[in-house]
Structure 1
Amino acid sequence: MNQMTEIPSMREQVSDEEWQIRVDLAAAYRLVAMFGWDDLVFTHLSARVPGDDGHGGHAFLINPYGLFFEEITASSLVKVDAEGRPLMDSPYPVNPAGFVIHSAVHEARDDVVCVAHTHTIAGVAVSAQEEGLLPISQQACFPLSSLAYHGYEGLALRDAEKARLVDDLGHANYLILRNHGLLTCGRSVAEALLSMYRLQRACEVQIAAQAGGSRLTRVAPEIIDGMPAQSLEVSKGLGPRLVWPGLLRRLDRQMPGYAV
């Protein structure tokens, strides 16, 4: 049996605000697949459900465990509460490891709408390096202005790890999970995905530069400190909204069908 379970449309069962978040998050999953950042079904993106005061503001959407990222749609995303319990019927479960990491961030950071987590080759390679992400490229300067690290504790299955992960993250929006992968936070799905793009590209550049065998030059700390302001300036104040519409157009051409 290799057919997907048919998922009925959720469009008429949720608010307009929730539907928009569902569409954005499904698009982000498809983009992760398109960029080659997925790891079969073993990483996650999550988004807070807007206006969901009935669950303490901690209801969020996460991928149905077992679907590949290029298969995820707005309607197939699973809505869960802070304890990982489904709030609407779904034929698919939620990965407990994904739930622990994402719920920890969502519970602790009210400013975070979306959390993205990947296990890319370049990301895991940099996470295994003692110095972590090096200030050797323009790409690295953006995440280095808001970067934290969390030590590896095995598969993220224990609630006891939540407090340590949250303490390590603090107010940062980029987190390198040692020996594990990358995590980014955003005030929107678009912001979390663009942050992951920057962090992933910085890791790719680092691995490529290290392979050259030459001594690497480093960017001065004062330049890194000024990157948030420069990023806002270069995006004309739009931030991730500058590129998100274009990414959706590319997705509509190459991997349509997410907004159902």
Structure 2
Amino acid sequence: MAPQATQDIVSRENGKRWLPTAKQDQSALEALSQGTPLRGIPTFPSFHEHRTHILEHMAAAFRIFARNGYTEGMAGHNSVRDPEHPHTFWTNPLGHAWALMRASDMILVNYEGKAIGGNMSRPSNSAGFFIHSSLHKARPDVNAACHAHSIHGKAWSAFGRPLEMINQDACVFYGEAQAIYKDFGGVVFDDAESQRLADALGPKGKVLMLTNHGLLTVGETVDEAAYLFTLMERSCQIQLKQTPRLLMGWKRCI
């Protein structure tokens, strides 16, 4: 995409288009050169504006997932904690195409995955939300979770092994950041397995590999969880390219 397109931002307040000036660009570069960090998670003057921001970014994450081919029928689901009512969560409606997802399509559910608000014209994936619910309960820092049936994530999960640190990007998942759930039993219908998922992720985990199933990522924001999912999927793809080497190593051990 051209720089002009990426910088052409529409202001919500007055509808005018805003373009950063050369002076503003230079100031940003100087701040970075002096070690000043980039702006973090934004703050909002009201819960309504915060919620709107979250749902718009959630819809964008679904569309990115669809563009990357992470869709598989009705499978997969993302969730994000409501900023005003932290024991409720926004998630996607069952059977709605991810490529067409809008902020107004999201459903508000409780810990049991039952719809209590938002767009209730479709049911939520209550069975799918069982995967998320215990993670949200156990980890107050987990505001968002993403789970999809991506090709390379499913393929690598069949090994039941963590990613190796074979490149710089994979190092994001070093140590306790990645976890393996070896006994995944399919569709989650009970609290017991949901709790086992949370236990497997642990207090510091960011990504959870469900053996023979796929990937699940969590984050403080839906942006973080979605980014980690795309990075984990790409890292699984790179790891699979090393599979012949791995198989040769296993053969020598037999």
Change (3 A) 1:84 1:141: same
From 91, 105, 124, give the equivalent of 2:121. Answer: 91
SS at match of 1:148: strand
Kindly state the Cα deviation for residue 139 of structure 1 after the two structures are TM-superposed. Answer: 2.9
Aligned to 1:237: none
| CA spacing shift, 1:46–1:159, aligned 2, 3 Å | same
Q: Secondary structure at the match of 2:105?
A: coil
* Deviation readout 1:229-254 (Å, 9 max, x if unpaired): xxxxxxxxxxxxxxxxxxxxxxxxxx
Structure 2: how far apart are the matches of 1:197 and 1:154?
A: 22
State the number of aligned residues. 199
Q: Greater relative contact order (Cα 8 A, min sep 6): structure 1 or 2?
A: 1
Question: Equivalences for 1:42-191 in 2 at 5 Å?
Answer: 42-52=75-85, 57-88=86-117, 90-145=120-175, 146-150=177-181, 151-171=183-203, 172-191=205-224
Of 204-213 and 173-182, deviating more is 204-213
CA deviation after TM superposition for structure 1 residue 213, in Å: 7.8
What SS is found at the alignment partner of 2:83? Answer: coil
Counterpart AA for 1:188: T
Counterpart Cα distance in 1 of 2:161 and 2:52:
41
How far apart, in 2, do the equivalents of 1:196 and 1:130 lie? 17
Shift of 1:117: 0.8
Task: Give me the CA root mean square deviation.
Answer: 1.9
Structure 1 residues 215 and 186 mapped into 2: Cα distance closer, same or farther (>3 Å)? same
Decide which moves more: 40-49 or 130-139: 130-139
Q: Does the 8 Å contact 1:61/1:77 carry over to 2?
A: yes
Match of 1:40 among 66, 70, 73: 73
| Displacement of 1:181 | 0.5
Per-residue CA distance 1:73-99 (angstroms, 9 max, x = gap): 100101111122212251100112211
After superposition, residues 237-252 of structure 1 pair within 5 angstroms as none
4+ runs deviating over 4 angstroms: 211-216
Aligned amino acid, residue 131 of structure 1 = R
SS of corresponding position for 1:103 = helix
CA contact (8 A) 2:55 2:103 kept: yes
Quote how far apart the aligned CAs of 1:135 are.
2.7
TM-score, with normalisation over the residues of structure 1?
0.72
Q: What per-residue deviation string (whole Å, max 9, x for no partner) do you get for residues 106-153 of structure 1? A: 121110111011211210111110434233232322123311111212
Q: Which runs of 5+ in 1 are unaligned?
A: 1-13, 217-260
